[in-house]
Amino acid sequence: MPLRPGFDPKHFDDFGKEYLPGLVGLVLTDVAEGLIRGELAIRKVLLAPNGYLHAGTVIAFADTLCGYGCLAHLPERAENFTTLELKANFLNTAREGRLHGEARAVHLGRTTQVWDASVNCGERKLALFRCTQLVIYPKQPGGASRPS
């Protein structure tokens, strides 16, 4: 699926401002065909009580990148998506600095999409992430919701 027009970093930063992406401070830096990049400054509120980056912060960051990637590449007539499955492998952690994330399309189908993301802090790779999304279409007469 090609990149939909108008889905640039500013669009997504405005889109998520009053939701979880805005709350955690996610900022997109690049939106291209099959690719989304973003950054997130590590702050105390994003840490676990043990002083290290909370796993939920990393998941929120990577999942948002993959979700925004899916939205930017929805097939014609599709109206939305929902996550079917996500998986994360944590490789390292951080206490300070800036997270850099990148999500890349693995599969851009009419009914599902698969995105892989990586999260780094400086030169350290913190996590690898895979997300599968179900593409949602408007309901058809008779109640079915499927691509036509």
Q: How far apart are CA 38 and CA 48, in angstroms?
A: 22
In a domain, 148, yes or no: no
In a domain, 147, yes or no: no
Q: How far apart are CA 112 and CA 85, in angstroms?
A: 11
In a domain, 1, yes or no: no
- Supply the pLDDT for residue 139: 87
pLDDT in tens, the chain (148 residues): 789 999 999 999 999 999 999 999 999 999 999 999 999 999 999 999 999 999 999 999 999 999 999 999 999 999 999 999 999 999 999 999 999 999 999 999 999 999 999 999 999 999 999 999 999 999 877 666 666 5
- Supply the pLDDT for residue 56: 97
In a domain, 88, yes or no: yes
In a domain, 60, yes or no: yes
- Give the CATH number, domain containing residue 109: 3.10.129.10
Identify the residue whose tokens are 């780094």.
120
pTM of the model: 0.92
Which residues form the domain of 28? 9-136
In a domain, 56, yes or no: yes
What does the block give as tokens for 145? 């919701």
Number of residues written out for the chain: 148
Q: Which residue blocks in 48-105 are alpha helix, DSSP H? A: 55-72
| Domain count along the chain | 1
- Supply the pLDDT for residue 113: 98
In a domain, 3, yes or no: no
In a domain, 68, yes or no: yes
